[in-house]
Amino acid sequence: MLAPDDLVWPLFAVPGERVRTPVKSMPGVFQLSVDELVAEAQAGFECGVRGVILFGVPEHKDAQGSGAYDDNGIIPRAVRALKLKVPGLVVMTDVCLCEYTDHGHCGVLRPPRAGGPGQDLTVDNDATLPLLAREAVAHAKAGADLVAPSDMMDGRVGALRRALDEAGFAEVPILSYAAKFAGAFYGPFRDAAESAPREGPGIPKDRKGYQMDPANAREAMREVALDVAEGADLLMVKPALPYLDIVRGVKERFDLPVAAYHVSGEYAMIKAAAERGWIDEDRVALETLLCCRRAGADFVLTYYARHAASLLTGIRR
């Protein structure tokens, strides 16, 4: 079965007012100022969508991603507005640095080697953890119901759990992107979040150093087990359709709620084929989400959330 409250809607928050910028590679998806985002979430809520996950595009980016853990940054502002204006909505927040760093990676880069030129071609895992923890606490202070680390740094679930507990937010759950693969389906998201790795001397060209090998299912299960041991409350597999075997494996092995993220590239492919008249968009979208549920996902993050909810309920907003 597929119901509107099985769906979580990703939304992109940007600075300003009355901003509604279309994402060209994702028809129907927009970068939204906080006022527009609140209106969009309200419309989705009226159609039956009870949860959103927020991604932020800051006014300024730097090497440390400082906008990610600013208590008055774009995501805390959006969270506060949603909790005030859309009572009952479950507000989840993505915890990562990629939208906030000027190099586009999910963690801080190592400084130049002593006596050697250029940057080290790795992300500094351990230096990133306290920054992610600060980001999670900033979101919790603003009222986030749930935080979702997507960075894939080793040990980040434990770091977030300790920081949240110490800050008085022991009740805030962690939805871990526990099995996030270094696949080719993220391009449109990186347009929307302005988070593609920047080309430059010594900057890693991709995220294969910390995201997972698409061929390695056993590694996925090990990564999930580590996150569970560190205190994850919910588990996510990303992307969805190419990894439904992983969704099923996680569901069968671990006694925690499981999410599947129907990512931007999967959404864009349906949109592109539908625009050419090759498929029935509504039927394909609903079948896709249903299959995620059938594989074992307790809920699905999808850019189709509002539209699918409208199809399921007959409510149009």
Q: What is the CATH number of the domain that holds 205?
A: 3.20.20.70
The domain tally of the chain equals 1
Q: Is 37 helix (H, G, I), strand (E, B) or coil?
A: helix
| Region of 172 on the Ramachandran plot (φ > 0 left; ψ -120 to 50 alpha; else beta) | beta
Which of 24, 83, 238, 271 is flagged as catalytic?
238
Residue stretches of the chain with pLDDT short of 70: 111-121, 190-211, 317
pLDDT given at position 197: 57
Which one-letter amino acid corresponds to residue 102?
Answer: D
Q: What separation in angstroms does the CA of 215 have from each of 115, 137, 160, 229?
A: 37, 34, 29, 24
Q: Is 220 helix (H, G, I), strand (E, B) or coil?
A: helix
CA gap 37, 39 in Å, rounded: 5
Q: Is 158 helix (H, G, I), strand (E, B) or coil?
A: helix
Which one-letter amino acid corresponds to residue 316?
Answer: R
pLDDT given at position 243: 95
- Domain of 80 in residue numbering reads as 4-313
Task: Enter the pTM of the model.
Answer: 0.90
Q: For residue 235, what are the β-bridge partners?
A: 176, 258
Q: Is 180 a catalytic residue?
A: yes
CA gap 39, 19 in Å, rounded: 12
CA gap 251, 147 in Å, rounded: 20
CA gap 99, 106 in Å, rounded: 8
Which one-letter amino acid corresponds to residue 269?
Answer: M
Which is nearest to 38 in space by CA: 92, 79, 90, 99? 79
- What are φ and ψ of residue 277, in 5° steps? 75, 20
Q: Which two tokens mark 103?
A: 């190099």
Do 4 and 308 touch, CB atoms closer than 8 A?
Answer: yes
- What are φ and ψ of residue 11, in 5° steps? -130, 145
Q: What share of the chain is helix, strand, coil (3-state, %, to 5)?
A: 40, 20, 40
pLDDT given at position 202: 56
pLDDT given at position 317: 66
Q: Is 85 a catalytic residue?
A: no
Do 108 and 102 touch, CB atoms closer than 8 A?
Answer: no
Which of 180, 205, 251, 271 is flagged as catalytic?
180
pLDDT given at position 115: 47
